Amino acid sequence: AQKITQTQPGMFVQEKEAVTLDCTYDTSDQSYGLFWYKQPSSGEMIFLIYQGSYDEQNATEGRYSLNFQKARKSANLVISASQLGDSAMYFCAMREVGNDMRFGAGTRLTVKP
Partner 1 sequence: DAGVIQSPRHEVTEMGQEVTLRCKPISGHDYLFWYRQTMMRGLELLIYFNNNVPIDDSGMPEDRFSAKMPNASFSTLKIQPSEPRDSAVYFCASSPRTVRELSDTQYFGPGTRLTVL
The interface region with partner 1, picked from 16-24, 50-58, 60-68, 80-88 by CB under 8 A, is: 50-58
Of the candidate residues 25, 32, 68, 90, the single one contacting partner 1 (CB under 8 A):
32
Of the candidate residues 3, 20, 50, 78, the single one contacting partner 1 (CB under 8 A):
50
For 47, the enclosing helix (H) or strand (E) is strand 46-52
Of the candidate residues 19, 23, 66, 95, the single one contacting partner 1 (CB under 8 A):
95
Question: What is the DSSP code (8-state) at residue 113?
Answer: -
CB 16 within 8 A of CB 32: no
Q: How far is CA 16 from CA 22, 54, 58, 79, 86, in A?
A: 19, 32, 22, 10, 11
CA distance 113 to 110: 10
Of the candidate residues 87, 106, 107, 109, the single one contacting partner 1 (CB under 8 A):
106
If DSSP codes are grouped into helix, strand and coil, which group holds residue 84? helix
Nearer Cβ to partner 1 (46/81): 46
The count of residues interacting with partner 1 (CB under 8 A) is: 24
Q: Which residues bind partner 1 (CB under 8 A)?
A: 31-33, 35, 37, 42-47, 50, 52-53, 91, 95, 97-98, 100-101, 103-106
